[in-house]
Amino acid sequence: MGFSSSRFSALVPAGLLALVIIASGCASEPAHPVRQPAAQPRAKLPQHPGAGVAAAQVGAPYRYGGATPRGFDCSGLVYYSYRKAGIRVPRTTQAQLRNANRVPLTQLQPGDLVFFKLDRRPVSHVGIYTGNDRFIHAPSSGKRVSFTTMNDPYWQARLIAAGRYY
């Protein structure tokens, strides 16, 4: 059974009318107001200026020897972030520890550097403490700058020192 052009021309106005009715329903106000979910508070950025710069780099890739937003290694993230905040720190993890004002681990404040022993070297990793038992760092190859908890057993077992730069 074929479809005649007279039948088609009779259906076109009805189809258009249905389309207009449907479209106008989308544009009208709802019968009762829709409740919008409450806005979630933004995560509070760290108060220390160097930690704040580092927090803005979350998601940047890890790059061995890197000290720019194109890629960071752990000490490069500290070097870049503190330099942007007007605080001079050395470039390497070992020099950062050697030149820092030592801080007891029980007295950590946002912006303090936390140092870890991950291999045979005396110190091999650094992060920036951001408060609430968290630090920010450039973890390792294939990963990105991120926040990590100090309560993680892996990091707790390897934490060896903390230092502060003014």
The reply to whether 74 belongs to the active site is yes
Domain count, the chain: 1
The whole-number pLDDT of residue 99 equals 98
How far is CA 46 from its chain centroid?
A: 12
21 band by pLDDT with thresholds 50, 70 and 90: very low
47 band by pLDDT with thresholds 50, 70 and 90: confident
**Annotated catalytic residue within 26, 32, 48, 74:** 74
User: 127 is in which domain, residue-wise?
Assistant: 49-164
Secondary structure, 3-state, 41-96: CCCCCCCCHHHHHHHCCCCCEECCCCEECCEECHHHHHHHHHHHCCCCCCCCHHHH
Work out the average pLDDT over 2-8.
49
The reply to whether 26 belongs to the active site is no
The reply to whether 125 belongs to the active site is yes
% of the chain surpassing 70 pLDDT: 72
Query: For the domain that residue 55 is a member of, what is the CATH number?
Result: 3.90.1720.10
26 band by pLDDT with thresholds 50, 70 and 90: very low
Work out the average pLDDT over 149-154.
97
Work out the average pLDDT over 38-55.
70
Residue 99 lies in a domain: yes
Q: Is the pLDDT of residue 61 over 70?
A: yes
Residue 93 lies in a domain: yes
What is the tens place of the pLDDT at every residue in 104-144? 999 999 999 999 999 999 999 999 999 999 999 999 999 99
